[in-house]
Amino acid sequence: MSKTNYQKEYKKSYKQKNKIVTFPLSIAFHDELKRRAIYLDLKTNSYAKNIITTFLNNSTPKILTYEQKEFINEYIRISRGIANNINQIAHKTNLNETIDINILINALRIYEDEFKKFITKS
């Protein structure tokens, strides 16, 4: 299938499964919607779509706040640091290189301290 035919088929399929909804919104409501979307680091339309689909599904929103995203990112950063250290140890071991145990212990202590700080601020 050529690229042009693929695109035509995709658009046709998409239009059969989805509908675009537009409606007027007062400036005050739009500004509030936009403010909340910015706070959650979303585009206004994505936030509006999330609100509507959540309401129609009678469920709670699955949106993370900026603080929650930062919390998760900090956790990931610390975890990756630990994983990186473990990978370096495995690599050196596979090459039969010696590992300075003092450097290893100090690095792990630093990550342990970071995790303690991280957990106590949450």
pLDDT of the residue at 30 = 93
Rounded to the nearest integer, the mean pLDDT of the chain is: 83
pLDDT of the residue at 122 = 55
pTM, rounded to two decimals: 0.46
43: DSSP letter: -
- What does the pLDDT look like over 1-60, one tens digit per residue? 677 889 999 999 999 999 888 889 899 999 999 998 998 888 999 999 988 888 888 866
Report how far apart, in Å, the C-alpha atoms of 38 and of each of 41, 42, 105 are: 5, 6, 42
Cα–Cα distance for residue pair 13/49, rounded to 1 Å = 20
Cα–Cα distance for residue pair 75/13, rounded to 1 Å = 40
More confident of the two residues 25 and 61: 25
Give the mean model confidence (pLDDT) for residues 83-87.
Answer: 81
More confident of the two residues 101 and 110: 110
